[in-house]
Amino acid sequence: MTPMAPPEQIAPQGLSDYLDIMSKAVFQAGMSWKVIENKWAGSREALREFDPHAIAEMDDVDIDELMQDTRVVRNRKKLEATVHNARTMISLDEEHGGFQTYLRSHEDFWSTVKSIRKEFKFMGDMGTYYFLFVVGEEVIPHDQFDAERKK
pLDDT tens digits, one per residue of 8-24? 999 999 999 999 999 99
The total of structural domains in the chain comes to 1
Q: From CA 151, how far away is CA 148, in angstroms rounded?
A: 5
Question: Does residue 73 surpass a pLDDT of 90?
Answer: yes
| The predicted structure's pLDDT at residue 94 | 98
Q: From CA 102, how far away is CA 48, in angstroms rounded?
A: 24
Name the region of 50 (left: φ>0; alpha: ψ -120 to 50; beta: rest): left
For CA atoms 54, 60, 61, 67, the dihedral sign is positive
Let me know if residue 9 belongs to a domain.
no
**Domain, as residue range, for 126:** 15-149
| The predicted structure's pLDDT at residue 3 | 57
Q: Which of 102-106, 131-135, 147-151 has the lowest mean pLDDT?
A: 147-151
Q: From CA 124, how far away is CA 27, in angstroms rounded?
A: 12
| The predicted structure's pLDDT at residue 80 | 98
Let me know if residue 25 belongs to a domain.
yes
Percentage of the chain lying above the pLDDT 70 cut: 97
Question: Does residue 59 surpass a pLDDT of 90?
Answer: yes
Which CATH number fits the domain that encloses residue 107? 1.10.340.30
- Indicate the pLDDT class of residue 4, thresholds 50, 70 and 90: low
Whether pTM exceeds 0.85: yes
Contact 64, 71 (CB under 8 A): no
Let me know if residue 3 belongs to a domain.
no
Let me know if residue 10 belongs to a domain.
no
